[in-house]
A and B are shown apart, each in its own frame.
Chain A
Amino acid sequence: MAFFEVNNLIKSFGKTKVLKGVSFSLEKGEVLAIIGSSGGGKTTLLRCINFLELADSGTISVGGKVLYDGTVDKKMSDTKMREMRLHFGLVFQNFNLFPQYTALKNVMLAPLLLKIDREENIASTARELIDRVGLSDKADFYPCQLSGGQQQRVAIARALALKPDILCFDEPTSALDPELTGEVLRVIKGLKSSDSTMVVVTHEMEFARNVADKIIFMADGVIEEMGTPEQLFEHPQSEKTKAFLSRSLER
């Protein structure tokens, strides 16, 4: 069994079926990029993986253990939900930093509240993370004093502070001015060297091609095509994939 497995996830909002049976697996340390046109269900997939939405059916497993089974786990206790969420991290499109705390405090807040370590250790880990995303000189700045790219890097540090097994990104650069996307993508690329497993929804084709081990093209709630960057970008099989790729190359 692979380190991270998603099996046949189905999710509807009212009458609209948004995920129509999504399955994939990922080995530890691998990076998965998810591409696809708007409305295909990419955000919904990440939200289901992070339990911000509960899938109607399907399973999610990490390290060989089934964490979530949509057919039985609908009414879950708050405590169990929180434990499950800790396997995952999510970096949002629009950062969602806590505005009333400094960059450093944003990174420290959850570890402090969850009491995962002694306070001084939490503080020094947080400083290391802030260093790692290249913001040592901005640690005591409030989010409103940071650029979008800097805010997103703080958000990445915040997600890393809880050492999630799998870190998810939902279009981490699409709220940014073009000149700021590079710094954020470089940070994400830099994380790859370590053993962190990542799922990145992105419209940055160059980034997907260079960084991902595996690419999924999603359309209309299903995985239309899945493979290595080489396979997907050089030899796409599905007509939908071909159309999408040629459209995004034009841009």
Chain B
Amino acid sequence: MIQHIAEQFPTVFAALNVGFLQTVKLFVVTLLGAIPFGLLISFGSMSKIKAISATVKTVVWIVRGSPLMIQLLIIYYFPGLVLHTPIWGSGEQGRFIAAAIAFIINYACYFSEIYRSGIQGVPIGQTEAGKVLGLSKSQIFFKVTLLQMIKRIMPPMANEIITLVKDTSLARIIALQEVIWAGQAFLKGSQGISGEIWPLFFTAVYYLAFSGLLTLLFGYIEKKLSYFR
């Protein structure tokens, strides 16, 4: 058994690495999009204009209340199968764009709620102390409240981001060639290996290593910010 795996390992390892690269790419692109987009959504949900805040809150509720897997399926298949305008094309690149859009929307909605509680969690007295000292609105934001917000949102953001690592595997449902897909290929048969389940199990190691690394990183950042309360 062991020897058998050892023989297959180089081939499997190379294929899983390629798949994992796609996983990491989806992870990075999702963060790059969802971090700023989430801020926009949080401003929308805190808007003084009722029509805006109500609309944004409803959308956030729908996105957070339904499974990401269904959102992926809708975004990927709806244009082609229902509207008969397959905007994504059929290749890997099209699948990636569709997946990235679904992930960015979904995660931006989660992030927006975290930002909102972070922004509202900084006591109003901080802003008032800044005002009384004659500071401008932007000075108050950048020099007084921003770091306090970042400190507040760090633990829930770390949780979400580590969940994202594992959630990227959902893109398997639209056949994005990420690491799970790469592992599964050896079950069906690929590069002369077929009927093997161990490569699929082995993909867990990639997720563990990646989330372990992120846990260390966030632990470091939180420690850096622990000098104040």
A88 to B143, CA, bound (A): 21
A82 to B130, CA, bound (A): 10
A50 with B134: CB separation less than 8 A: no
In the complex, chain B residues 142-180 whose Cβ is within 8 Å of any chain A Cβ = 143-144, 147-148, 151
Take A98-B144, A113-B143 as given contacts and tell me if A92 and B136 are in contact as well, using a CB distance cutoff of 8 Å: no
A148 to B173, CA, bound (A): 57
B123 with A52: CB separation less than 8 A: no
Which residues of the partner chain B approach A99 to less than 8 Å between Cβ atoms? Answer: 148, 228-229
A92 with B147: CB separation less than 8 A: no
Q: Give 15 CB contacts A-B under 8 Å.
A: A78-B137, A82-B134, A82-B135, A82-B136, A85-B133, A88-B132, A96-B125, A96-B129, A99-B229, A100-B147, A100-B227, A113-B139, A114-B135, A142-B227, A142-B228
Which residues of the partner chain B approach A83 to less than 8 Å between Cβ atoms? Answer: 134
A98 with B131: CB separation less than 8 A: no
Distance (Å) between the CB of A88 and the closest chain B CB?
Answer: 7
A185 to B125, CA, bound (A): 22
In the complex, whether B194 has a CB less than 8 A from a CB of chain A is: no
Binary interface profile of A, 86-109, with partner B (CB < 8 Å = 1, else 0)?
Answer: 101110101011111000000001
In the complex, whether A1 has a CB less than 8 A from a CB of chain B is: no
In the complex, whether B92 has a CB less than 8 A from a CB of chain A is: no
A98 to B141, CA, bound (A): 12
Which residues of the partner chain B approach A142 to less than 8 Å between Cβ atoms? Answer: 227-228
In the complex, whether B11 has a CB less than 8 A from a CB of chain A is: no
Which residues of the partner chain A approach B148 to less than 8 Å between Cβ atoms? Answer: 99-100
**Chain A interface category by residue count:** 20 to 34
Which of chain A's residues has its CB closest to B129's CB? A96
Which residues of the partner chain B approach A52 to less than 8 Å between Cβ atoms? Answer: 128, 131-132
Distance (Å) between the CB of B14 and the closest chain A CB?
Answer: 48
In the complex, whether A41 has a CB less than 8 A from a CB of chain B is: no
Sorted nearest first, the 3 A-B pairs with minimum C-beta distance are A110-B133, A96-B129, A96-B125
A99 to B131, CA, bound (A): 16
Which residues of the partner chain A approach B58 to less than 8 Å between Cβ atoms? Answer: none
A98 to B229, CA, bound (A): 10
**What number of residue pairs across chains A and B have CB atoms under 8 A from each other?**
61
Distance (Å) between the CB of B147 and the closest chain A CB?
Answer: 5
B134 with A114: CB separation less than 8 A: yes
In the complex, whether A158 has a CB less than 8 A from a CB of chain B is: yes
Take A52-B128, A92-B128, A109-B143 as given contacts and tell me if A100 and B228 are in contact as well, using a CB distance cutoff of 8 Å: yes
Distance (Å) between the CB of B145 and the closest chain A CB?
Answer: 9
Which of chain B's residues has its CB closest to A85's CB? B134
In the complex, whether B55 has a CB less than 8 A from a CB of chain A is: no
In the complex, chain A residues 133-185 whose Cβ is within 8 Å of any chain B Cβ = 142-144, 158-159, 162
Indicate which residue in A78, A86, A143 contacts B136 across the interface (CB closer than 8 Å): A78
In the complex, whether B126 has a CB less than 8 A from a CB of chain A is: yes
Which of chain B's residues has its CB closest to A84's CB? B134
A124 to B133, CA, bound (A): 19
B125 with A90: CB separation less than 8 A: no
Indicate which residue in A96, A100, A144 contacts B128 across the interface (CB closer than 8 Å): A96
Distance (Å) between the CB of A128 and the closest chain B CB?
Answer: 18
Which residues of the partner chain A approach B126 to less than 8 Å between Cβ atoms? Answer: 96, 98
In the complex, chain A residues 40-71 whose Cβ is within 8 Å of any chain B Cβ = 50-52
In the complex, chain B residues 175-229 whose Cβ is within 8 Å of any chain A Cβ = 227-229
Can you add 8 more A-B contacts, CB < 8 Å, to A51-B131, A98-B129? A50-B132, A52-B132, A82-B136, A96-B126, A100-B151, A109-B143, A113-B135, A113-B143
Binary interface profile of A, 8-21, with partner B (CB < 8 Å = 1, else 0)?
Answer: 00000000000000
Which residues of the partner chain B approach A144 to less than 8 Å between Cβ atoms? Answer: 228-229
A53 to B204, CA, bound (A): 57
A89 to B133, CA, bound (A): 7
Which residues of the partner chain A approach B139 to less than 8 Å between Cβ atoms? Answer: 113
Which residues of the partner chain B approach A113 to less than 8 Å between Cβ atoms? Answer: 135, 139, 143
